Amino acid sequence: MKSFVFKRTVQMIFVLFLVSVFSFGIIHFSPGDPLAMYKQPGMHKMTVEQEEALKEELGLNGTVTDQYIGWAKKTLNGDLGTSISNRLPVKDQIFERIPATAGLMAASLVISIVCAVPLGLIAGMYNNKWQDNLISTFTYFGISIPAFWFGIVLIILFSLKLNILPSGGMRTIGVDSTWDLIKHGILPALVLSVNNTAVFVRYIRANTITQMKEEYVMTAKSKGASGTGILFYHVLKNCMLPVITLVGSRFGMFITGSFVVESVFSWPGIGQLGMSAVNNRDYPMIMGITMLSCIALLLGNFLADILYGFADPRIKQGKE
Amino acid sequence: MKKLLEVKNLRVSFHSYSGEVEAVRGVSFHVNEGESVAIVGESGCGKSVTARTVMGLTQCPPGEIKEGSEIIFDGRDITKFSEKEWQRYRGGDCAIIFQDALAALNPTLTVGHQIEEKLKLHGIKDKKEAYSETVRLLTAVGIPNPEKRYKAYPHEFSGGMRQRIMIAIAIACNPGLLIADEPTTALDVTIQADIIDLIKELVKEHNTAVIMITHDLGVVADMAERIIVMYAGKVVEEGSSEDIFYKTKHPYTRALLNSVPRLDLDEEKELEFIEGAPPDMTDPPKGCAFAGRCPYCMEICTKEEPPCYEFNEGHTAHCWKYHEYAEGLFGEVEE
Ligand SMILES: Nc1ncnc2c1ncn2[C@@H]1O[C@H](COP(=O)(O)OP(=O)(O)OP(=O)(O)O)[C@@H](O)[C@H]1O
Ligand code: SF4
Ligand SMILES: [Mg+2]
């Protein structure tokens, strides 16, 4: 167990390093001028000296390698630099928005699992019967619907036509109630969960079908257990174990999904921050968010593996 | 003696892409209360399908229990059972032990819970009572340290110990009939005898009837009172242990016996393999299914179903060799 944690930690650090190099490279070689927003028509024109000073302040001087090394040094010291667009520390801005995004992701994960477990089990249990066909049809929609489109459809339906839910934001100004927060959060969380729910349902369905063919199911039946008894007492746990790993590996989808969803619903989270950072070529902000997402992804996977080890008695024993 | 189980003209098929597999083609036999019966035959002859159908475990579809099949248990035709009746019957009246205990046990539940589950399904609702009964069962099947092992998972046991757990599950709630489907085939030779002895001892204690399924006649030699020999989905010979071993009538039984190492015979005698392979069950041959491999095969054998001959009380064989016209053509089926 100790060596496992150690190995994974080394791996994760290495991955983080590679990701930082690649993203830094991609950002710097893609077209666009980070200082464009300072040079908009109608703005006071900067002198050459002023521009140099600004570049110096924002760490945009020297070759890409120099810039990377400068960025890496600061980052290792816990300083993610200042945002180009508003000259505020990147770290503070990101940390300020973590709760909004984390909350959204947690809510959508809960929705996904709560919906996917029963649906997946039913679809697997009634393999190729009408129940399965119905559920599977929905999962195909869920997998193929683009999040932004679905989000807009929901806004049109619930906000514009029915007028029962707000179309965006996280809170009504001046109102500070949980109910208000839930009302704002429900649509984004739903949209963010659709794709994952569909993937989980397909996966749990496939697992259920395989597990139902296992011989221990026949033993359970031979003991006199009923169909539902077998499903919940025997198959459920064996089915759910691999789902832990799946959730870990879908973490990336949650993060990228939240970018889109937050933009559609003006949810004041990291995704929204990231989107505007990309539009403004705000290098330090893009890097900060990329690294944070990457850490979240790696930790998600890592935690999933550890959790799996605790949940599966066969692995738990091996580790002791 | 009272008949506990009576199987009449059981026919079971499986529908697959390569056609209809006629796994069991008209099997009839009975088991008396407290009696030990063995079903023997080569791999694929339909032993497990017969056993599972008696337990109500044949999946339909792809399986199909053909019209006209009857399975009477304790006076009731179980093929007409409702789901509720099946659940009471499975485990309560009849229990089964499978070959591979590792696959047959749920890997993520403790063995204690897996035994207890059955007790709870058949009426022991009180937690304490179920626990103490589980510990008693673990002790009865010879698991050392039962209180501690109660909490262990199947993978923490050796193969032999796992099969003992399966036996504990099977004998829980005292079923009238125990089916053991090759309970020792997956085990080390050195512990096979222990497991057989354990089953023998337990069924004797509770006067449980047993159907012992095996492809190894040696395993059942001293356990079964009666032996049923199956070939290609049919019963070819049936009789008391004595009849089968010493008054063998069917050429297939003979071949089977010759392929089993025996201590009581001349050591020099070489073991024989049965040449050829059993027929394709998607298209079973007309006449006798053994014809292609039988040293006594006559023309009639490939054309007509062999009739049943009774030699003495309860000893029967399906073979043309005993037709009056074939008399004198061959000697006895020799060793
Ligand atoms: N679920 C199934 N689907 C299709 N065919 C099946 C199924 N179960 C059994 N069969 C077929 O039925 C025939 C009899 O199988 P069965 O398992 O009863 O043999 P067996 O006598 O128990 O052999 P073994 O000694 O290998 O256990 C085989 O030809 C097998 O392929
Ligand atoms: S019926 Fe004919 S082929 Fe079949 S076992 Fe008897 S003698 Fe052999
Ligand atoms: Mg078998």
A264 has a pLDDT exceeding 80? yes
Ligand nearest to the CA of B251: 2
Query: Which of B24, B32, B25 shows the shortest CA–CA distance to B6?
Result: B32
Atom of ligand 2 nearest to the CA of B321: 7
How would residue B329 be classed by pLDDT, with cut points 50, 70 and 90? confident
Residue B19 is predicted with a pLDDT of 87
**Residue B6 CB neighbours (<10 A):** 17
Predicted TM-score (pTM) of this structure: 0.81
Percent of chain B whose pLDDT exceeds 90: 44
**What average pLDDT does the segment B124-131 reach?**
87
Strand (E) or helix (H) holding B17: none
Angle at B180 between CA B174 and CA B182, to 5 degrees: 160
Pocket of ligand 1 contains residue B281 by CB under 6 Å = yes
Q: Which residue's C-alpha comes closest to atom 18 of ligand 1? A: B46
The verdict on A238 touching B (C-beta cutoff 8 Å) is yes
**Residue B53 CB neighbours (<10 A):** 25
Helices (H) and strands (E) in chain B, counts: 11, 13
Give the least confident one: A246-250, B96-100, B108-112, B269-273.
Answer: B269-273
Most A CBs within 10 Å: which of B117, B149, B179, B211, as the mutation test of the A interface? Answer: B117
Residue A247 is predicted with a pLDDT of 86
Residue B116 is predicted with a pLDDT of 92
- Ligand 2 neighbours by CB, cut-off 6 Å: B 251, 288, 290-291, 294, 296-298, 301, 306, 319-321
Domains delineated in chain A: 2-76 (no CATH), 98-319 (1.10.3720.10)
Query: Which of B146, B159, B235 shows the shortest CA–CA distance to B190?
Result: B159
**What average pLDDT does the segment A159-183 reach?**
82
Query: What is the SS3 assignment for B70?
Result: strand
Query: Which of B96, B164, B118 shows the shortest CA–CA distance to A223?
Result: B118
Query: Which of A234, A221, A225, A231 shows the shortest CA–CA distance to A125?
Result: A231
Question: Could you check whether the bond before residue B61 is cis, i.e. omega within 30 degrees of 0?
Answer: yes
Q: Which two tokens stand for residue B150?
A: 């109660």
Give the least confident one: A22-36, A116-130, A200-214.
Answer: A22-36
Residues ≥6 apart with Cβ < 8 Å to B122: A224, B88, B91, B92, B172, B173
Residue B112 is predicted with a pLDDT of 92
Q: Tokens 């893009």 identify what position?
A: A286
Radius of gyration for chain A, computed over Cα atoms and rounded to the nearest angstrom: 24
How far is ligand 2, taken at its centre, from the CA of residue A288, in Å?
Answer: 84
Helix/strand/coil (H/E/C) assignment for every residue in chain A: CHHHHHHHHHHHHHHHHHHHHHHHHHHHHCCCCCCHHHCCCCCCCCCHHHHHHHHHHHCCCCCHHHHHHHHHHHHHCCCCCECCCCCCEHHHHHHHHHHHHHHHHHHHHHHHHHHHHHHHHHHHHCCCCHHHHHHHHHHHHHHHCCHHHHHHHHHHHHHHHCCCCCCCCCCCCCCCCHHHHHHHHHHHHHHHHHHHHHHHHHHHHHHHHHHHCCHHHHHHHHCCCCHHHHHHHHHHHHHHHHHHHHHHHCHHHHHHHHHHHHHHCCCCCHHHHHHHHHHCCCHHHHHHHHHHHHHHHHHHHHHHHHHHHHHCHHHHHHHC
Burial class (CB in 10 A: 0-12, 13-18, 19+), B199: buried
Residue scoring higher pLDDT (A147 or A111): A111
Ligand nearest to the CA of B40: 1
How far is ligand 2, taken at its centre, from the CA of residue B297, in Å?
Answer: 5
Q: What is the least distance, in Å, from the CA of B215 to any CA of chain A? A: 21
Which whole-number Å values give the CA distances from B164 to A215, A218, B157, in the listed order?
17, 18, 10
Residue A320 is predicted with a pLDDT of 42
Residue A314 is predicted with a pLDDT of 79
Strand (E) or helix (H) holding B314: none
Residue A319 is predicted with a pLDDT of 45
Smallest Cβ distance to B91: which of A222, A241, A313? A222
Given a contact cutoff of 8 angstroms between Cβ atoms, the answer to whether B50 and B24 are in contact is yes
Q: Which two tokens stand for residue B310?
A: 């009774």
Smallest Cβ distance to A223: which of B83, B109, B118? B118
Residue B261 is predicted with a pLDDT of 66
Given a contact cutoff of 8 angstroms between Cβ atoms, the answer to whether B229 and B213 are in contact is no
Percent of chain A whose pLDDT exceeds 90: 25
Q: How far apart are the first and last CA of chain B?
A: 34
Give the least confident one: B198-207, B217-226, B242-251, B304-313.
Answer: B217-226
Given a contact cutoff of 8 angstroms between Cβ atoms, the answer to whether B169 and B118 are in contact is yes
B55-75 pLDDT, tens digit each: 999 988 888 998 889 999 998
Given a contact cutoff of 8 angstroms between Cβ atoms, the answer to whether B11 and B25 are in contact is yes
For a substitution probing ligand 1, which of B25, B42, B47 has the most ligand atoms within 8 Å of its CB? B47
**What average pLDDT does the segment B92-115 reach?**
92
